[in-house]
Amino acid sequence: MKHEEAFYIGYVTKTRGLKGEVQIFFEFDEYEQLEFDILFADMNGKLVPYFVASAKLQANKTGYFNFDDVDHIDKAQPLLKKKLYLPIDKMPERGEDEFLYTDLKGFTAVDETLGELGEITEVNEYPQQFVATVLYKETEVLFPLNEDFIVEIDDEEKVVTLDLPEGLLDVYLEK
């Protein structure tokens, strides 16, 4: 399986006990809806399959997993800090009117005062907020995505109109 055929769900944080159990931290919001029969770990750029023997999900975006053929802590050690993926066809269906800030990747950001900023190249989730990355005047700039700053989202034209606070981008442009 290739990275393009999979989506990122989280990573292995630590081992638990001596029988190869690992703790996974989920960065995928709706992790409770995922099917865990097989997970793919990114091992040096290659996605390696691990068949799930048991999974116990926790309320704090974590879960405890046992994999077939990983029956000892020594076999679980190589999985530490490895990113985990599922095949794209296992991604939960979303309703048509369900919109996520991450859907804005690829949209053109336009500020009401400054005009066109550029294409949103990345949308990252941080605690309490989403942050967009745009290449503006040959400089990478970051700004929060929230209801206070978003004026309009044109899904057909792929344009998000913003009203960013005065001086926010100056921090990046001053040299």
Q: Are 131 and 123 in contact (CB under 8 A)?
A: yes
How many Cα atoms within 13 Å fall on the side-chain side of residue 118? 16
- What mean pLDDT do residues 54-81 have? 95
Q: What is the pLDDT of residue 107?
A: 94
Q: Residue 115 forms beta bridges with which residues? A: 111
Q: What is the pLDDT of residue 96?
A: 61
Does residue 13 carry a pLDDT above 90?
Answer: yes
Q: What is the pLDDT of residue 120?
A: 94
Q: Are 131 and 124 in contact (CB under 8 A)?
A: yes
Pairing of the two strands 159-162 and 108-111: parallel
Q: Per residue in 47-66, pLDDT tens?
A: 999 999 999 999 899 999 99
How far is the C-alpha of 85 from the C-alpha of 6, rounded, in Å?
6
Mean pLDDT for all residues in the chain: 90
Q: Are 108 and 116 in contact (CB under 8 A)?
A: yes
Does residue 149 carry a pLDDT above 80?
Answer: yes
How far is the C-alpha of 133 from the C-alpha of 124, rounded, in Å?
8
How far is the C-alpha of 100 from the C-alpha of 73, rounded, in Å?
38
Q: Are 139 and 127 in contact (CB under 8 A)?
A: no
Q: What is the pLDDT of residue 101?
A: 80
Angstrom distances, CA of residue 94 to CA of 1, 84, 91, 175: 24, 21, 9, 43
Q: 38 falls in which pLDDT band (50, 70, 90)?
A: very high
pTM: 0.59
Q: 100 falls in which pLDDT band (50, 70, 90)?
A: confident
- What mean pLDDT do residues 7-15 have? 94
> Residue type for 71, please?
D
Residue 153: which residues within 8 A CB-CB, separation 6 or more?
99, 104, 107, 159, 160, 161
